[in-house]
Amino acid sequence: MDGRALRQARLGKGWTQQQTAREFGVTQAYWSMFENGFRPVPPAVVRRALRALKLPPTALPLPGDQRLEESTTRKHDFSRELGVLGYPGFAHLGGKAGLNPALLLFDALNEPDLDPRVREGLPWLVLAYSDMDWNWLVKAVKLHDRQNRLGFAVAIAREVAGRKHEQGRSGKFKEYLEELEPARLAREDTFCHDGMTQAERKWLRQHRSSTAQHWNLLTDMRGERLAYD
């Protein structure tokens, strides 16, 4: 999160710098350094701003390039974390937002095997947080050769957006797919279901969707089967 976003959030709340600094327990001069980019915004301030200034989860910090490798070993309760971010299938689990949607999606796409209900929630993450940091996400998935999985999730999200006649998001997803297309991998993969049997793999090669085939994934997921309403 940068100082510009912090300033916009403060102005959206109708607070002066002095009011905001008092709310956060810092001096006005110190707060001004955040907004003007003279000091990085600490994660603790970002998390508090999430509540006090009503910032979206996409404002939460993301690992820098040197820490991307570490995020692949992060432990998750994906069901709860999807529920915290608003996914209808797990909304009953509750909790406080603590993870940027782009990071949650990246870590999920790195998993060899996910619960089927969690897998269904990944295109929803793309759909619900279409303004997530796409540049960071693309760099992360390319580093770990997960661009096919991301491309498939975006393609499914685009199908859902099209069904809902959401032309703005559908157009954005089209641009994302065009960016991912040159990096598409030829090797076969699954959509976070590496533990499937050989019989399942054989069946899916014949019965998967054209979208799954294009992204060289073995999966039976189809956009028309997902109900995110």
For residue 94, list its beta bridge partners.
Answer: none
* Statement to judge: residues 171 and 189 lie in one domain: yes
106 and 208 share a domain?
A: yes
85 and 165 together in one domain: yes
What secondary structure does DSSP assign to 167-205, as a single string? HHHHHHHHHHHHHHGGG---S-EESSBTT--HHHHHHHH
- 18 is in which domain, residue-wise? 3-55
pLDDT of residue 82: 94
CATH number of residue 31's parent domain:
1.10.260.40
Residues 46, 82 share a domain: no
In sequence order, the 6+-apart residues with CB closer than 8 A to the CB of 62 are 100, 102, 103, 133, 136
- For residues 84 and 32, membership in a common domain is answered with no
- Residue with the two structure tokens 């909790």: 95
Do 207 and 142 form a contact (C-beta atoms < 8 A)? no
Instruction: Classify residue 60: in a domain, yes or no.
Output: no
Three-state SS for 98?
coil
Residues 121 and 165 in one domain: yes
In the chain, the number of structural domains is 2
State pTM to two decimals. Answer: 0.84
> Are residues 185 and 82 part of one domain?
yes
Q: Are residues 38 and 73 in the same domain?
A: no
pLDDT in tens, the chain (229 residues): 678 878 888 898 899 999 999 988 899 999 999 889 888 888 778 778 877 888 888 888 788 766 666 556 678 899 999 999 999 989 888 776 678 999 999 999 999 999 999 999 999 999 999 999 999 999 999 999 999 999 999 999 999 999 889 999 999 999 999 999 999 999 999 999 999 999 999 999 999 999 999 999 999 999 988 977 5
Instruction: Flag whether 42 is in a domain.
Output: yes
Q: Are 209 and 118 within one domain?
A: yes
